[in-house]
Amino acid sequence: MLRSRLPILLATLTTLFLAALPAMLTAQPLTGQTLTPPRLLDDRLQADPLRPLMTPAPARKPSDRSQAPVPELNDEDLKASVALTEHILNQAMLHEDWSTLQRIMRFYPTMSGIDVVLRDYVQGALYRHHGQYAKAISLYRQLITQHPDLDYVRLELGLMLMENKVWREADQQFARVQRQALDPDAQHDVAMYRHMMQREQQWQFQAGVGLAHNNNINAANKDAFLRLPIAGPEGSTFWLPFAKNPDALPEAAWGLKYTASAQREQNLGGNHFYTLAAEGDGVNYRHHNAYSDQSITLRGGYKYQDVSTWFAAMPQLGKAWVGGKPYRHSHGFGIEAGYRPDMPWQFMGSFLWLKRDYDDPDYDAYDGPLRVYSLAAMRAFSPQLMVYGRAGMQNESARSGEYASRFPWLEVGASSTLGNVVGTRLSLKYGHRHYKKPYALFLYTQRRDREIELNATLWKPGLTLYGFQPRLYASYSRHHSNLPMYARSQTEVALMFEKRL
């Protein structure tokens, strides 16, 4: 019976989607509950969270903003006076009036007697506004090479480098700016930006602990009888019932649940980073220790990221224990990539390959590689509302073809906060599992399962107890199968206390 109980795949970027979102898209990794052995699908396939974009408001050189409103002028009026046109450009830059800047820059560069520094400064700002960071950075680098005394241009360059994840060079530019006689507000901003980058490259720790109740810790079928098919005359089938032992029926239990993670990203230069991560979780059932489990996953590798794209390749190792005994070990690698065309949208793709080996010789038939492919899209409608959709394919190989399967699935979810009143996260996952070879025990019937999983999280923003934020988690899963003994359902509710350390 134990060999037939497959776990729910735990999903997250992440540290693979879900390890970093911008602030308005930040969401906790989605996880499923842990089932009894043999748990073929419970490797922690969490996406590396999409890290927040640091996009502080650009620091502008102090100017007199109390000037009288500029009268409306047409293009011909401006073309007739360089001085007037440059005055309008300066005012538009101060007020970040992008439409006016774009309009005037159509003809200003062709006028005679123009200020080439102002031209390049405005053009770089427009490039930045339209997300063309490579062009903006290149133009501002040329400016400060030709005019090293342009401290506020250097400050703008440092900001763009920071936003574009070129943190090492950004820090160098900020350090040089700090030595100049900027106004106190600009000095404060520079110190804050340097601190932000240093903090982002330090180890990030998170821990959680809480109480969980699971109504089916052994992932058992609730039917009191095991029904096996018997071939009858003329192709008929009779289902012969056998009474189950009580321990083969669903068992409910309370358990102590815990999670911990640590991760770090360090800029190597340019847009290149190395990343390290360690994740562990488990649940302890005091009176049902045979179903207690723990697992740990270690990852590390290379990551490229800029303001709109990222790519990571990370080898990983995993180890799991059940009932206090070694259960399974694995090794493999993951690849993920993402694209952020603008702040509301994000698109991601990932691939994971794992070679899993079970420590108990009785489970040798389950040894084999696991391959998971997924694509996701996320949309932020506001800082308080984010929705996402994912599609994936999981191919699971095993020494015995009866346990090898193909599992295409779809998932949708949303995260929302209502001010400081309540925060919620909901997700729904649905898939069909197709097993590759017929089951000899069931007259060589090809097994087909349908699986559905619901997850919900509830919390109150700003509420903490000794620095820990309480969160209420609820999950429900149901497996339908054409082979009745594999049908089952499971519900878990957990009150967790979580903290970023």
In a domain, 436, yes or no: yes
In whole angstroms, what is the distance from residue 265 CA to residue 200 CA? 8
How much is the pTM? 0.78
Structural domain of 280: 204-500
In a domain, 306, yes or no: yes
197 near 158, Cβ under 8 Å? Answer: no
Residues 6+ apart with CB under 8 A from 195: none
Q: Which of 207, 205, 149 is nearest to 181 (CA)?
A: 149
pLDDT band at 69 (very low <50, low <70, confident <90, very high): low
DSSP 105-116: TTTGGGSTT--H
* Residue 56: other Cβ atoms inside 10 A: 12
pLDDT tens profile 134-190: 999 999 999 999 999 999 899 999 999 999 999 999 999 999 998 887 888 889 999
- Which DSSP helix (H) or strand (E) runs through 118? helix 116-129
Residues 6+ apart with CB under 8 A from 88: 70, 73, 78, 100, 104
- Look up the CATH number of the domain holding residue 228: 2.40.160.40
- Which DSSP helix (H) or strand (E) runs through 186? helix 184-200
- Which DSSP helix (H) or strand (E) runs through 417? strand 405-418
Q: How many CA atoms, within 13 angstroms, populate the side-chain half-sphere of residue 466?
A: 2
In a domain, 51, yes or no: no
Q: Which pLDDT score is estimated for 215?
A: 96
In a domain, 323, yes or no: yes
Q: What is the average pLDDT across 411-433?
A: 95
How far, rounded to the nearest angstrom, does the alpha carbon of residue 453 sit from its chain's CA centroid? 19
* Residue 199: other Cβ atoms inside 10 A: 9
In a domain, 376, yes or no: yes
Lowest-confidence segment of 86-90, 147-151, 229-233 by average pLDDT: 229-233
Percent of the chain with pLDDT over 70: 86
Token pair recorded at residue 79:
């073309």
* Exposed/middle/buried for residue 489 (C-beta within 10 Å: 0-12, 13-18, 19+): middle
pLDDT band at 420 (very low <50, low <70, confident <90, very high): confident
SS3 string of 295-330? Answer: EEEEEEEEEEECCCEEEEEEEEEEEEEECCEEEEEE
Q: What is the average pLDDT across 34-60?
A: 32
Lowest-confidence segment of 7-11, 72-76, 96-100, 111-115 by average pLDDT: 7-11
In whole angstroms, what is the distance from residue 193 CA to residue 261 CA? 26
In a domain, 354, yes or no: yes
403: DSSP letter: G
pLDDT tens profile 348-389: 999 999 999 999 998 999 999 999 999 999 999 998 999 999
In a domain, 28, yes or no: no
Number of domains in the chain: 1
In a domain, 102, yes or no: no
Looking at the predicted structure, is the pLDDT value of residue 39 above 80? Answer: no
Report in angstroms the alpha-carbon separations of 295 from 130, 284, 477, 491: 45, 12, 21, 21
* Residue 337: other Cβ atoms inside 10 A: 15
Q: What is the average pLDDT across 483-493?
A: 93
pLDDT tens profile 240-266: 888 888 888 999 999 999 999 999 999
Token pair recorded at residue 68:
């009288």
Q: Is 148 helix (H, G, I), strand (E, B) or coil?
A: coil
In whole angstroms, what is the distance from residue 348 CA to residue 374 CA? 8
Answer with the residue of higher pLDDT: 374 or 55: 374
